[in-house]
Amino acid sequence: MVLVLMAAYAVGFVDRQILTLLVEPLRRDLGITDTQFSLLSGLAFTLFYTLMGVPLAWLADRGSRRNLIMVSIGVWSAMTAACGLAGSFVSLFAARVGVGIGEAGLSPAAYSMIADSFPPAKRARAMGVYAIGSIAGVGMALIIGGAVIEWAATAPPVSLPLVGLLKGWQIAFMLVSLPGPVLIAAMLFLREPARQGAGAAPSAPLGPYLRRRWLVFTLLAAGYSLVGVVIAAYLTWAPAFLMRAHGWPVGKVGAVYGTILLVGSTLGVLIGGWWTDRFAAAGRKDAVLRVAIIGATLAFPFALAAPMMATGELAAAMLALMCLGFGLTQGLPAVSFQAVTPNRVRARVIALYLLIGNIVAFTVGPTAVALISDHWLKDPKKIGVAVAVVTAVVLPLGVTALIAAIKPYVRAAQEEAAEASDH
């Protein structure tokens, strides 16, 4: 089950992330600016992804999570193909909105299914494996997208009935939409897990939970969201930075940065889940936050250094070390919220965090960088410097919020564990 859900998460991230390699052909063919591109990458996807997450999580708390995921896969795959047919900024923006709506149904339902299938002592590793899907998806989007774009530059034109000739960036969108039907078929073989613990009862109102846990929820959401701003800024702009500042061709950028994410970030997520479980087994009640803080802190100097390197190879080395550090943190937000949330509101709490976290990370991160580049630095080649400025301001704030969350988190986790054991 975890492997199928991870594959769905990976394909979803391929569909959302392929855009970052297409910045230059989109600027050329559709005449968009860096700021408009940041809106396509961030706001168009994220706003509806997050807004739809809460009502779809409400459905996940009440009905079949498996069926919800199957419908979601179908919607986002169709809308990704629609991105390849876009002829203007407005039509591409609308298609990206559709991708966001489709993907909104996956993670709240998936996290709820995983939590009901594993005991607390093994949840961090299981959710870490699921989280690898996002990193694998980004890496595959870069590797596949870079290869497709380079191939399309020299290949004969591709023509489809009723559509006509397709350009390289359009072909890339079409290709990454194809795994959707295969995933839907794979989901048919999964069983809906029984709801466990205190949440085996029917779904409960969300308001009383939030009034009771407002402090820990706010600090966790703020901390992970602010760390996410830097991660989103690099996911969006690192390819453009390597192409503009160091003259790397798109195929090389996709192969190198995609491999860095696949290897470095995946290794970090696996280590983070294992390390968290080891700390927890040793009696550390703050295990998950301890590892998350360590990971973000380790990533900080390399995130600042990457855009300042004299060569693309040195920049790539810094990016690899940064991704390893952030990987320690990336698999842990859901684990943190699971520990302080009863089952009966779990999917909606995760969806609410995703609403906040994604709006903050994938809107503020890419757009803040683009605004600094377009209106302050006024030099496309300095896009990496703009990312470093955002990192220097935002990442310390995120780590501070996670540190402040430790005491209320430990207290809330102990109370939730005691209540679950009573049931």
In a domain, 347, yes or no: yes
Confidence (pLDDT) at 184: 96
pTM value is 0.76
Confidence (pLDDT) at 83: 92
> Mean pLDDT score of the chain, rounded to an integer?
87
Confidence (pLDDT) at 108: 82
In a domain, 107, yes or no: yes
How far apart are the C-alpha atoms of 239 and 256, rounded to whole Å? Answer: 10
User: What is the phi/psi pair of residue 332, to 5°?
Assistant: -105, -15
In a domain, 199, yes or no: no
Under 8 Å CB-to-CB from 263, ≥6 apart: which residues? 320
In a domain, 383, yes or no: yes
Confidence (pLDDT) at 204: 64
- Residue 385 pLDDT greater than 90, yes or no: yes
Domain that holds residue 346: 2-189+205-422
- Residue 201 pLDDT greater than 60, yes or no: no
In a domain, 195, yes or no: no
Lowest-pLDDT range of 177-191, 265-279, 300-314: 265-279
In a domain, 79, yes or no: yes
- For the segment 230-255, what is each residue's pLDDT rounded down to a tens digit? 999 998 899 999 999 999 998 899 89
In a domain, 409, yes or no: yes
- For the segment 92-129, what is each residue's pLDDT rounded down to a tens digit? 999 999 999 999 889 888 988 988 888 877 777 788 78
How far apart are the C-alpha atoms of 343 and 156, rounded to whole Å? Answer: 54
How far apart are the C-alpha atoms of 387 and 294, rounded to whole Å? Answer: 21
- For the segment 32-84, what is each residue's pLDDT rounded down to a tens digit? 888 888 888 877 888 788 788 778 888 887 888 999 999 999 999 999 999 98
Confidence (pLDDT) at 344: 75
Give the total number of structural domains in the chain. Answer: 1
CATH number for the domain harbouring residue 297 = 1.20.1250.20
User: What is the phi/psi pair of residue 288, to 5°?
Assistant: -65, -40
In a domain, 260, yes or no: yes
